[in-house]
Structure 1
């Protein structure tokens, strides 16, 4: 059984930071493209926070305002919001559109995100 996630902010990044934090990262990165005007996006944001909590030490999670940074959204050829993009080794690996419950999203990410390595100092997932 999963514990409640403390309210923890998923940092929103700008277009100036985007390439360095995604394409330039060797760590797995999940970027959540959404908008305040989008009801489903507002419902998905707590799921993104939960995933950030569940995958801490294994995955960086960022948010991007799809209205403000539409050119990033278009550059990745995304269709509709909400949309999540998983980067591995600086490459786009998976695009996930629409709402997904916490467990369904976690299951999908488990297929791609490497497991924690023993002795790496990370706390085990609860």
Structure 2
């Protein structure tokens, strides 16, 4: 079971945009093999860095409004939001080390 909670179109603004800490949103879908490969990596990073950054996932099939609002056309996409603003976007799968390096400014 994932340690990363799900957000929806209805909860996105409250859980992500109004968060007091940076938030990584994992845009994914059940049918997406690279998304499923990244899920345990996101779980691991959330487990070790969850005190500095919030980690959530959004299923783009069941929650298309947020994905459309942010122009998500390829998954997995990992967006980082700070103070209600999109500040970083990482598209595609990555090894854990590479993703942690991409997120370093928010995790340190």
- Secondary structure of 1:95's aligned partner: strand
Unaligned runs of 5+ in 2: none
The whole-number CA distance in structure 1 between the counterparts of 2:101 and 2:76 is 18
Tell me how far 1:23 sits from its aligned partner.
1.1
Stretches (4+) displaced over 2 A: none
Structure with higher helix content: 2
Residue in 2 that maps onto 1:70 = 64
* Count of aligned pairs between the two proteins: 108
TM-superposition CA deviations, 1:22-77 (whole Å, max 9, x none): 11112110000101101111001111101101212101000110111111111001
Larger Rg, first or second structure (1 or 2): 1
Q: Does 1:98 align with 2:83?
A: no
Residue in 1 that maps onto 2:44 = 50
In the alignment, is the contact (CA less than 8 A) between 1:52 and 1:61 conserved in 2?
yes
Q: Which has the higher contact order (CA 8 A, sep 6+)?
A: 2
Residue in 2 that maps onto 1:79 = 73
- Secondary structure of 2:11's aligned partner: helix
**RMSD, aligned CA:** 1.3
Write out aligned runs for 1:28-47 (5 A): 28-47=22-41
**TM-score with structure 2 setting the length:** 0.93
- Secondary structure of 2:44's aligned partner: helix
